[in-house]
Structures are given as structure tokens and as C-alpha cells.
Structure 1
Amino acid sequence: MRMKKATAFGLAALMAATMIPAVPAMAKGDDSEGSVYYLNFKPEQADQWSDLAKKYTDETGVPVTVVTAASGTYESTLKSEMAKDEVPTLFQVNGPVGLASWKDYCYDLKDSDVYKNVESDDFVLKDDSGAVDGIAYVIETYGLIYNKALLKKYCEMDGAVIKSADEINNFETLKKVADDIQAKKDDLGVDGAFTSAGFDSSSDWRFKTHLANLPIYYEYKEDGITSTDAIKGTYLDNFKNLFDLYITDSTCEPSLLSSKTIDDANAEFGLGEAVFYQNGTWAYDNIKDNEVADEDMGMLPIYIGVDGEEDQGLCTGSENYWCVNKKADEKDIQATLDFLSWVITSDEGRESISKEMGFTTPFKTFDENYESANPLVKAADEYVKAGKTPVSWNFTTMPSEEWKNQVGSAMLEYAQGTGEWDAVKTAFVDGWAKEYKAANEG
């Protein structure tokens, strides 16, 4: 069974790599009423978007092309596609920093059905004039996904340091549990407490961006700010403590991390080879239908050892804002607006977004009939209901992709033993000031 499942993961990865086109294969249909070209950011939902586009074309005759950028290449792919004759009519940015690079391409969505149906302006990117440049289409959550069945099995072992997963509410306890699981991994039947912390480009964003969000969040919170031109690195020691745990209590040796991919981590968790997996609600499609049943998927906050973190919730926000290309032909702009309206109001669109893609959206049109079946989304809802304080997504204020890359490179060198943690601090603090200045000159 495990051999069969592992082969399935490998085939899925191969298919994903070969099915995501580098250039758009334009959809067939009548383009007299315009056409839509969506450059999708999320490889996890590439097939669902393509299926939804086909349904819309079959229903309306309007061609809709979906091209999905490979993981970690969206910005470079967008730049390349915008330079071609057939430009994306629908693209996305990750927040205010991403918008700064593309604001001259953003059509004002203030009169669109999408804007009229968004729950609040908390999910909207506006410029100084009040123009609506981007609208979030999915609200996501990340943390430590865990295998409830394996953790329960551990809790029942002699000498277990906890009796229930509910006892893990701070870094100190998480470390004790992870260290003990690693020591007992053979008896528990796992390869490690945590999945591999891969630094292949398909996976490194989990650490240089999502994990790095935690020290930024706590520094912003302490200083009462929402962005900065010069990060201080107040909580980088806390950042190091958790990253050390990922490295030492892992399914693999640190020397292998440079080549470990997101598919490796998905397989390790999906096959029950690890108890914990740092990722988000979007990962469900890649880990379901394997050894871990839906009811055995839970999520814990990412604890880094900060005072009061017992009241901390999961990391919730969005880095997925739809933008319509105002430099496209007028008929294509209207076709794109019509497509977006259909996506958030039609039965087919809402069913696909909520059930097939597993998204939680900020649109009023998604009532109780269109709640996500994703168990990780339900786990996130439980923390909100319990009154825990969600961790905001402050990584949208990171100064540049280059900053992330330099931090990630230093983290990998440290993990492999070929670099020191001081290099991570330098990339984090000095690199922030340098990249912020470069991005905001003039």
C-alpha cells in the first residue's frame, strides 16, 4: 500500500510539472465578445481552474485560458507574459508590496460585481485616490498541520510527555513532544516528528516567507506598527529555535534539505511518515486520499516561544488579490469582469471555489450552502471560535523577493552546517533596510 501511494505521489508531481504550460494554449471559442486569460498563482488548484474555465466557455462561448505559473515563479512569469501580444487579462498580486510593481496595470474595480459582493474593504487593495486595484478572493490559514491519529498513538505510549494534543499550547511543550517523538520514532512507526524542511524552490517559501512571518508579526505587534523600512530582528532567536526543531526532529538529514521538495513533504505527511507538517489550508488537495483520513487532519499554531503565546491562533490572511489588466482590450476587460462575476455568483463557480478548491472566500454570495469541506479550514474555524488571536500575514510587507531569497539562502547554509546563524540575521535585518531602500528610491 505504501509503495503504491508513493508511486501515486510521484506521478502526480510529474503530471503537475508537465501540465502547467509555460505559454498559454489559447482556449477555443467565439472571441467576438472578448476573451479571458487568467495567469493563476496557485499550482494546487490548476486543474480546478482549468475545469471551471471550460464550463464557462461551454456555457457562454467566451474563451477562457488559464495558465498556472510554476511554484515560486509567478512574478517572473507575469513579467514575461505582460511583454507578449496575448497578455493576461486577470492576474494577481500578493498585497501592497506586490501592488507597487503593478499598480499601473490595475483596472479600477469599484463598479464591478466582485467589489459589490466583497464583505468589507479589509479584503481590498485601494490606492490613494480610492480606486480599487485588487480584491482578495481567498482567505487562507497556515500553521502546523498534524496527524491526530499518530499524535494520539504517541500520547498513549509509556513515558509520553503529554496525554492530549490540547496540551501543546506553547513552544516549550511543542519542543518536548517533538524531541520525544523523534526519540521514539521507530516505536511510533514514523521517520521523524516533522516533514522535511525542503529548500527546493517549490518548498522554501514555507520558511523564508511563512515561518519568517512570525518574528515580523511579534515585532510589529510590540512596536505598534504595520510595516517598517528597517526591521530590528527582535524575535530572531525565537525564529531560530523553531527552525532548529524542524532540522533536528526531521524525516531526513540536514544535508538533504537543498533538494527536498514540497512533493516530498506532502508524501511524508500523506503517507503517515511524519506527525507535523508546516503548511496551510491549501495543502489539503495534495495530502488527502492517502494514509491520513480527513478526520485525522488537525492544525496547531506555530509557536516560537513568545510570552502569552498560549492565546495565539493560526496565521490567517491573504496574499491572493485579483487584478484586472487595464491595458488589455476593452472587450477583454469586460469579458474578464463578467467571468469573475460568474465565478462568485453561479452555482458552478461557487461549488468549484468552495468544494473543489476548498477555499474560504470574503464574498457575500458564499452562504452556508457553499462552506468548504476542507478539514483544515474547519480546524482553523475552531481557533476563531475559541477566541484565539490570529496571527496576521505581515509577510506581504517584506521589501522584495530578493530579500526572501537571501534569507532563504542563509537559512539553508545554516541548516546544512555550511553557514552561521549570524548570516541569517544579517540577511534579515541589513537586507531588509537595503531592499526597502532600493524598492522605494525616487
Structure 2
Amino acid sequence: MKKGLMVVLSFLVVISLALVGCSKDKGSENADETVVNLFNMKVETKEQMDDLVAKYEKENPGVKINVTTVGAGQDGATALNAKFASGEEPSIFLLGGLPDTQKFKDKLADVSDMKAAKAAIDGTLEGATIDGVPYGLPMNIEGFGWMINKDLFEKAGIDVTSIKTYEDFNKAVDTLESKKDELGLEAVFAFSAKEDWVVNQFSNHFSAPEYNQSIISAFESKEINYKFGDRMKEYTDLMNKHNVQPILSVDYSTSVEELFANEKVAIVHQGNWIVPTLDSLNPEFSQTKLGILPFFVESDTEGKISAGPSWYWGINKTLDEKVVKEAKNFLDWMYTSDEGKKALTEEFQFIPSYEGYDVESIKDPVSKEVYNALLDGKTSAWAMNQYPSGWYSASLFPEFQKYLNGDITWEQFTTNTSKQYKEMR
């Protein structure tokens, strides 16, 4: 009996040791694995990012990338701040421009030595550069202006390629107005005056040239003087006169998904980000009907669309050296490898913010146009991201709505908002 018990006990000891050995092996394997935590605030890219990370992990078995995607009703900035406050700091996270870069500067790695930074299109690093040091890599390019239905323009007898001046644009609007019934239009424009971010983007066409197309100048500005306020008023009055009414009730969904996609209006103020939405409703729309027209602000004859990076990837330098290295390796691979480039243009449907991409790999014509305009230097900078924190939602937006509604004069609009700009800076 004792002998039998000893045999059993000996067997259990052997098994226990074996299990401990296995456990140690497993622990050693995990210890050798470098874990990178990526915090993503572009919720529409969740699936694509997860797929891209899976491909990278397959090529790099010693690296594990955990992706946290926040959006769709969640406040990304609040969630990011909570991560830092809890001590669960991400390795890679998104910056909205210079205000965010300044806020997290002590955490951010200098990215100037990275392949991706060296391949960035001239000027695109500026939105995350402080004192000459780039602290972020541009995620992608987004461009916006007057998005138009070229088919409706052509049916009205308007050659879109002939619109080369502010006066040409005015005449095109008048022609569309005169043929509304014939074209089945409810109105010429569907400007989303219910959306603060649309008003903010609209203002960019006029503020960017005031700050000499420099994101840094916009960030450092103490005031806004509406140097091009007269032209802003002309565009505003033209749009309001020919817009779906009541204009203050028009939101994004009504403007893009209901009216523009169903050809009930010819013009909306939006950007290339509406392409996936339009494609989901009509796969041919972005390929055959969608166009973009510039704003003529600094000159009656030289138009520009607004284009640039809306987000930047920052790398947390305070983490383990291995983690920082692998975070850089992943972003370099994402933006400079053939596999990464293919995924970004085909799956993410991004306009690349880097050189070395085949323009033909960009799927829709408008995004190609935005990319080429940026390469040619024919775009306005994203000055709006550098406004004083909260100014556009607390001041610009409500005051602009008051003007559209006839409650205040243009002079009151510019006086009120410029005063609040100074106070909030």
C-alpha cells in the first residue's frame, strides 16, 4: 500500500515538474514577445486596422499589437486621457494637431529618423511639429470643398472644367437655380448648417490664407481678423440664398445621404470622406458623378480646396525601449511597405500623405484629384484644427447660425467671434 502510494506520489511530482517546466517555457515565450498598444480614434477604420495588424503580426511573430478603437458615440479624447490617467498608457495614439502635440509633448518621441517621416509629402509633418521637431506621422490626407454632382451640372449645360473663377462659380449656381424644376432639384445647395464641424471646415477656406497657409502661424495666432471676410460673406450669402431651407435644420445625414445621394441637390460642402457612404448607396456615384470645386478666396482666378492630415500618429517615448522601437517599425511598415501601401489605398481608402504611392491605386477620382492638388501645392492648410480650444463650437458655430437666420449682421458676426477668439486663446 505504502509502496503503491509512493509510486503515485512520485508520478504526481514528475507531472507537477513537467507542468512547471511547460509554464516556465510559456512564460519565457511571453517574456520574449514585445507588446505594442495602439489607440485608434478613427472608428470607421476598425476592421481595416485589425486586419492590417494581423498581417504584420504574422510577418513579425515576436510582436503583439493590441488595438483599441474608440468612437461611434464615445469621446475619443476623453478615453485617451483616461488611459494616461490610469497608467495604461498606449504605445501609439492619435493627435489632432498642434494643440494635442503641445499637450503630450513630454510623452512624444521625435519621429524624424523614421522612414515614414522622410517619405511624408512636403508640409504634412507641420501639424505635429514643435520647434522644428516632428512628433507625429500624418495618418492620411482628407480634402474638402464644394462636392458636386457633375452629371447634374452637365444636364444643366455647364462644363465643370470651365469653372475657373469666382464669377464662373456664381454663374453656374444661377444656371442650376434656373433649371431646378427641369433637373428635379429641391435646391442647388444642401449646406449642413446644423453641424458645427461643417461650419468649422467652411471657415477654413478663409482663415488658412489669413495665416499664410501655415498651420504653425494659425496655432500661434492671438486673433482672427477676417482678412478675407468679404469673400466669406459672398460665399455664405450665395449658398444661403440657394440652399434647402430651413438651413439650420439641415444635418449631415439629410445633406449627404438623403439629398445629395438621391440627386435632389447639386452641391454640398463636404470632403472625400463621403465616398464610402455614397458608394454604399450607389457604387457608381463616386466613379462617374462626384466632383470637387475649389474656393476662390485670395484670388478671383486661383482656386484652392482645403487638404491635409486630419490626424497624426504619436509614439510614447516613455515606455520600454523595445516597445518604442517596435512601434516605429510598425508605422514604417504600414506606410512604406508594399503590403501596407496596398492596404491603405484599397482597404482603408485613404489618400496617402506620403510620396511613393501609385496614384492609380487610389480608387475614386475625387481622392486622386485631392492627392495631386496636394503634391502640386494647390491646397489650403487645415488651419481650423489650430483654433483656440472650443472656439468653433462655442462661438463660430452659434454666431454663424445667427447670421444665416438673419438674427445678426455680418459685422456683428465678425466682431463677436473675433473678440471671443482673443479671449479663448
Give the TM-score of the pair, scaled to structure 1.
0.76
Letter of the structure 2 residue corresponding to residue 181 of structure 1: L
Q: What residue is the counterpart of 1:166 in the other structure?
A: 161
Say whether residues 1:245 and 2:248 are aligned partners. Answer: no
Cα distance in 1, alignment partners of residues 92 and 213 from structure 2? 38
CA 1:247/1:36 → structure 2, altered by over 3 Å: closer, same or farther? farther
CA 1:380/1:46 → structure 2, altered by over 3 Å: closer, same or farther? same
Cα distance in 2, alignment partners of residues 234 and 369 from structure 1? 36
Q: What residue is the counterpart of 1:413 in the other structure?
A: 402
Q: What residue is the counterpart of 1:231 in the other structure?
A: 224
CA 1:126/1:96 → structure 2, altered by over 3 Å: closer, same or farther? same
Q: What residue is the counterpart of 1:312 in the other structure?
A: 303
Q: Give the 5 Å matches for 1:144-223.
A: 144-155=146-157, 163-200=158-195, 204-208=196-200, 210-221=201-212
Say whether residues 1:78 and 2:80 are aligned partners. Answer: yes
1:400 aligned to 385, 389, 401, which one?
A: 389
CA 1:76/1:176 → structure 2, altered by over 3 Å: closer, same or farther? farther
CA 1:143/1:121 → structure 2, altered by over 3 Å: closer, same or farther? closer
Between the aligned residues of both structures, percent identity stands at 22
Q: Secondary structure at the match of 2:103?
A: helix
- Point out where structure 2 has 5 or more consecutive residues left out of the alignment: 1-28
Q: What residue is the counterpart of 1:355 in the other structure?
A: 346
Say whether residues 1:275 and 2:275 are aligned partners. Answer: no
Contact 1:153 1:188 in 2 (8 A): yes
Q: What residue is the counterpart of 2:137 in the other structure?
A: 135
1:323, distance to aligned residue in structure 2 (A):
0.7
Q: What residue is the counterpart of 2:363 in the other structure?
A: 373
Deviations 1:243-266 (A, max 9, x none): 233333223422413xx2357424
CA 1:409/1:72 → structure 2, altered by over 3 Å: closer, same or farther? farther
Contact 2:192 2:248 in 1 (8 A): no
Q: What residue is the counterpart of 1:299 in the other structure?
A: 292
CA 1:427/1:30 → structure 2, altered by over 3 Å: closer, same or farther? farther
Q: What residue is the counterpart of 1:19 in the other structure?
A: none
Contact 2:99 2:386 in 1 (8 A): yes
Mean Cα deviation higher: 46-55 or 100-109? 46-55
Cα distance in 2, alignment partners of residues 189 and 107 from structure 1? 55
Deviations 1:82-123 (A, max 9, x none): 323433322222333332222122122233343344455752
Cα distance in 2, alignment partners of residues 348 and 369 from structure 1? 16
Q: What residue is the counterpart of 2:414 in the other structure?
A: 425
Q: Considering only CA atoms, is the larger Rg found in Structure 1 or Structure 2?
A: 2
Q: What residue is the counterpart of 1:256 in the other structure?
A: 249
Cα distance in 2, alignment partners of residues 300 and 119 from structure 1? 23
CA 1:113/1:293 → structure 2, altered by over 3 Å: closer, same or farther? closer
Q: CA RMSD in A?
A: 3.3
Contact 2:296 2:302 in 1 (8 A): no
Q: What residue is the counterpart of 1:335 in the other structure?
A: 326
Deviations 1:134-162 (A, max 9, x none): 1223233221111111110111xxxxxxx
Mean Cα deviation higher: 422-431 or 188-197? 422-431
Q: What residue is the counterpart of 2:56 in the other structure?
A: 56
Cα distance in 1, alignment partners of residues 335 and 371 from structure 2? 22
1:236, distance to aligned residue in structure 2 (A):
2.0
Q: Secondary structure at the match of 1:199?
A: coil
Contact 2:205 2:305 in 1 (8 A): no
Say whether residues 1:34 and 2:34 are aligned partners. Answer: yes
1:422, distance to aligned residue in structure 2 (A):
4.3
Q: Secondary structure at the match of 1:359?
A: coil
Give the paired residue count. 389
Contact 2:193 2:247 in 1 (8 A): no
Contact 2:191 2:269 in 1 (8 A): no
Cα distance in 2, alignment partners of residues 370 and 87 from structure 1? 39
Contact 1:57 1:64 in 2 (8 A): no
Cα distance in 1, alignment partners of residues 336 and 168 from structure 2? 45
Cα distance in 2, alignment partners of residues 262 and 80 from structure 1? 31
Give the TM-score of the pair, scaled to structure 2.
0.79
Deviations 1:234-293 (A, max 9, x none): 222322322233333223422413xx2357424432232221122222322222243425
Q: Secondary structure at the match of 1:243?
A: helix
Contact 2:194 2:248 in 1 (8 A): no
CA 1:246/1:330 → structure 2, altered by over 3 Å: closer, same or farther? farther
Q: Secondary structure at the match of 1:143?
A: strand
1:353, distance to aligned residue in structure 2 (A):
0.9
Deviations 1:25-74 (A, max 9, x none): xxxx9685233333334344343223323433455451331413348944
Q: Give the 5 Å matches for 1:99-138.
A: 99-118=101-120, 120=122, 123-124=125-126, 125-128=128-131, 131-138=133-140
Deviations 1:405-442 (A, max 9, x none): 32112222333445554453134311221122xxxxxx
Contact 2:146 2:294 in 1 (8 A): yes
Letter of the structure 2 residue corresponding to residue 379 of structure 1: E
- Point out where structure 1 has 5 or more consecutive residues left out of the alignment: 1-28, 156-162, 437-442
Say whether residues 1:89 and 2:91 are aligned partners. Answer: yes
Q: What residue is the counterpart of 1:45 in the other structure?
A: 45
Cα distance in 2, alignment partners of residues 369 and 234 from structure 1? 36
CA 1:233/1:196 → structure 2, altered by over 3 Å: closer, same or farther? closer
